[in-house]
Chain A
Amino acid sequence: DAGVIQSPRHEVTEMGQEVTLRCKPISGHDYLFWYRQTMMRGLELLIYFNNNVPIDDSGMPEDRFSAKMPNASFSTLKIQPSEPRDSAVYFCASSFGGAGTDTQYFGPGTRLTVL
């Protein structure tokens, strides 16, 4: 299996622009997680899905952030409009609920820079 795939790997945009980050989870995994990592705040859980349904979005910073999972093999995290403080590395992770553990497998991340 190719593992969790994220695109793009790097994104540089200007303040006010819309940004869309993409994730393809490991085939067969039924949980998908979006995290944000910064030096100041460490690793923060933004939202997670189970069987394509959002379960907990309490970590989403504000209304400018939205996440969707239209099918089991694809999810997006959108920021509109983007701000410089959104600059961070965004990780997607997936897990299989039937495994008996909560082991999550992480993608390589998208490094977002908002100028």
Chain B
Amino acid sequence: GEDVEQSLFLSVREGDSSVINCTYTDSSSTYLYWYKQEPGAGLQLLTYIFSNMDMKQDQRLTVLLNKKDKHLSLRIADTQTGDSAIYFCAESYMDTGRRALTFGSGTRLQVQP
């Protein structure tokens, strides 16, 4: 079945690295995504990774995918106060023809100055 789980809250100090984790249950997922939601705003796509990749790096963001354990993580290097937001992971199942994403419940990242 489709289920995406995330921890609810993470607090870090400015300048430290943040690691936000996500687990999913469906091994047929094709792409996995990270979205960011700032207060009062919609979800903004940060990055995505194809399911046959292990890692993807984009500036301060590093995505790691462990397909065996169905574990996805987002690492933010040199975390800034502007990174405070809710982060959602999501998966898609393009092979099934279903085009909707399944979202996790979101992890609230709080960055302490």
Q: Which of B93-108 contact A (CB under 8 A)?
A: 94, 98-101, 103, 105-106
B99 and A42 contact, CB distance less than 8 A: no
B43 and A91 contact, CB distance less than 8 A: yes
- A104 close to chain B: CB less than 8 A: yes
- B42 close to chain A: CB less than 8 A: yes
CB nearest neighbor in B for A3: B42
CB nearest neighbor in B for A43: B103
A97 and B42 contact, CB distance less than 8 A: no
A106 and B42 contact, CB distance less than 8 A: yes
CB nearest neighbor in B for A55: B99
Given known contacts A48-B99, A97-B99, A102-B31, A107 and B106 CB-to-CB distance under 8 angstroms: no
- A74 close to chain B: CB less than 8 A: no
- B110 close to chain A: CB less than 8 A: no
Cα distance A49–B88 in the bound complex, in angstroms: 23
B99 and A101 contact, CB distance less than 8 A: no
B94 and A105 contact, CB distance less than 8 A: no
B99 and A43 contact, CB distance less than 8 A: no
- B73 close to chain A: CB less than 8 A: no
Cα distance A106–B103 in the bound complex, in angstroms: 13
Among A55, A91, A102, find the residue whose CB has the most chain B CB atoms closer than 10 A: A102
**Which size bracket describes the interface of B in this complex?**
20 to 34
A43 and B88 contact, CB distance less than 8 A: yes
- A45 close to chain B: CB less than 8 A: yes
Chain B residues in 8 Å Cβ range of A97: 99
Among B30, B42, B45, B92, find the residue whose CB has the most chain A CB atoms closer than 10 A: B42
Chain B residues in 8 Å Cβ range of A109: 41-42
| Closest chain B CB from A18 CB (angstroms) | 24
B101 and A104 contact, CB distance less than 8 A: yes
CB nearest neighbor in B for A30: B99
Q: Mark A87-115, 1 if CB is under 8 A from B, else 0.
A: 00001010101000111111111000000
Residues of B near any A CB (own CB < 8 A): 30-31, 33, 35, 41-45, 48, 88, 92, 94, 98-101, 103, 105-106
